[in-house]
Amino acid sequence: MNQYDLNGKTAVVTGGAQGIGEAVVQKLLQSGARVASWDTNTDLNIQKAGSDILPVTCDISSWASVLEAVEKTQSSIGPIDILVNSAGIAGPNAPVETYDNDAWSKIVDINLTGTFHVNKAIVGGMRERNYGRIVNIASIAGKEGNPNACAYSASKAGVIGFTKSLGKELADCNVGVNCVTPAAARTPIFDQMSQEHIDYMLSKIPRARFLEVEEAAEMIAWLVSDANAFTTAAVFDLSGGRATY
């Protein structure tokens, strides 16, 4: 596995208690970063946090909660150099005509508005210090749309558009903003999906297997390192061949 020098860097990983977020936390720690794990699951976040991980309770759909998390992180481990926004939910599987309105709002609030909140709260400091690396976790569903997952697909498409917009805004300074579009990985988010939907997602992956979270962490580690000094406002595929563009 590749190793990147993140010594002296402070990183925030949202959704860091499990799934892709947890794998990223471990990879960034191995690379020398100080890491804050932001998650709504307080008990699991504390349980997974070691002496080198700062556990922070944060609901990214709440602007006030995000501001509190920024303050706690920066007062504890320093100004934020790296953001990996991995927090998100899948929601129920249903066709549009029967899709629950409240479920739609909750998914968009967390996946898309939450992405906006976290990026907004952190980019100002990055611009002032002329340094930062941001990776927002989108999804192959945001590119191609999964049937019976309208809210998830739409919210992740929004993350892609948001990332491209912010990356261009910050292209005049040393702040890179990119996103990745994973295919499904076998994480606790599967608990929110029907088996039929899980089978559908697997059937669409040419590699005929799910993404391993460590594979996602490897790509993300490069994206947040100094080795990635030029690319910004870009979308990196992690779909096992599924993506058509």
What is the structure's pLDDT at 185? 77
pLDDT in tens, 1-11: 678 999 999 99
pLDDT at 194: 77
Q: Do β-strands 175-182 and 10-14 pair in parallel, antiparallel, or remain unpaired?
A: unpaired
SS (H, E, C) 184-204: CECCHHHHHCCHHHHHHHHHC
Strand partners, 175: 132
Q: Please report, for the chain, the start and end positions of each structural domain, with discontinuous segments joined by +.
A: 10-237
Is residue 38 within 8 A of residue 12, CB to CB? The reply is: yes
* pLDDT of 189: 66
Q: Which CATH number fits domain 10-237: 1.20.58.1180, 3.40.50.720, 3.40.1010.20, 3.90.550.10?
A: 3.40.50.720
Task: Note the pLDDT tens digit of each residue in 180-202.
Answer: 999 887 776 667 677 887 888 78
Q: What is the pLDDT of residue 184?
A: 81
Q: How far apart are CA 244 and CA 77, in angstroms?
A: 41
**Positions in the chain short of pLDDT 50:** none
The pLDDT value recorded for residue 129 is 98
Q: What burial class does residue 70 get, using C-beta atoms within 10 Å of its C-beta: 0-12 exposed, 13-18 middle, 19+ buried?
A: buried
In the numeric block, which tokens belong to residue 173? 């300074």
Cβ atoms of residues 211 and 238 within 8 Å = yes
Planar angle of CA 238, 241, 245, nearest 5 degrees: 85
Identify the pLDDT of residue 104: 98
| Active site residue ranges | 152
